[in-house]
Amino acid sequence: MAKNVLIISTSLRNNSNSEILAKEVEKGAKEAGHNVEFISLKDKEIKFCKGCLACQKLGHCVIDDDANAITEKIKKADVIVWATPVYYYEMSGQMKTMIDRANALFAADYKFREVYLITTSADGDESIKPVINGLNGWIACFNGVKFCGYVSGGGVDNPADVNNNQELLQKAFSLGKAI
């Protein structure tokens, strides 16, 4: 059965390693017959959450920027795939900001039940543990939602380095195909 898959690439760098892997996930998910939408935060305006919690009553954030449209897409997707570079052993600031801005989902009738993660880092694969922990904190706020898997690419530092690692590209493709 085809699922609606939303891939959110949070890197702001051109030719980013995490986005290259996310594109491989997209290819695999499409080959598996899923409906896939790919969003990059690169050119989006997403301001910081004010913590006012008005979104809990309104069903959307009071800040009028790109986060509201992305939150609606998250709400309607069956599967969410977050892709992030790892900075200082944590998800990118843009990913965390988007997660915070999607707070309206807490009180919403969301569809998503599966969440996946793609990371890349200059350091080894150990750097993913804090990112998974942070993402699991978000997932814990939603009944029936589970963390389903990840691909972590350590040792990629420069733009497009991941293109030299066919095994990692294949892992990302396979993750997408297995959704």
Give the model confidence (pLDDT) of 137-148 as tens digits.
999 999 999 999
Asked if pLDDT for residue 125 goes beyond 80, the answer is no
Amino acid at 128: I
CB 136, CB 169: distance < 8 Å: no
Candidates 3.40.50.720, 3.60.15.10, 3.30.230.10, 3.40.50.360; correct CATH number of 4-178? 3.40.50.360
Classified as helix, coil or strand, 34 is: coil
**Counting beta carbons within 10 angstroms of the beta carbon of residue 134, is it exposed (0 to 12), middle (13 to 18) or buried (19 or more)?**
middle
Task: Give residue 19's pLDDT.
Answer: 98
Mean pLDDT for the stretch of residues 5-26: 97
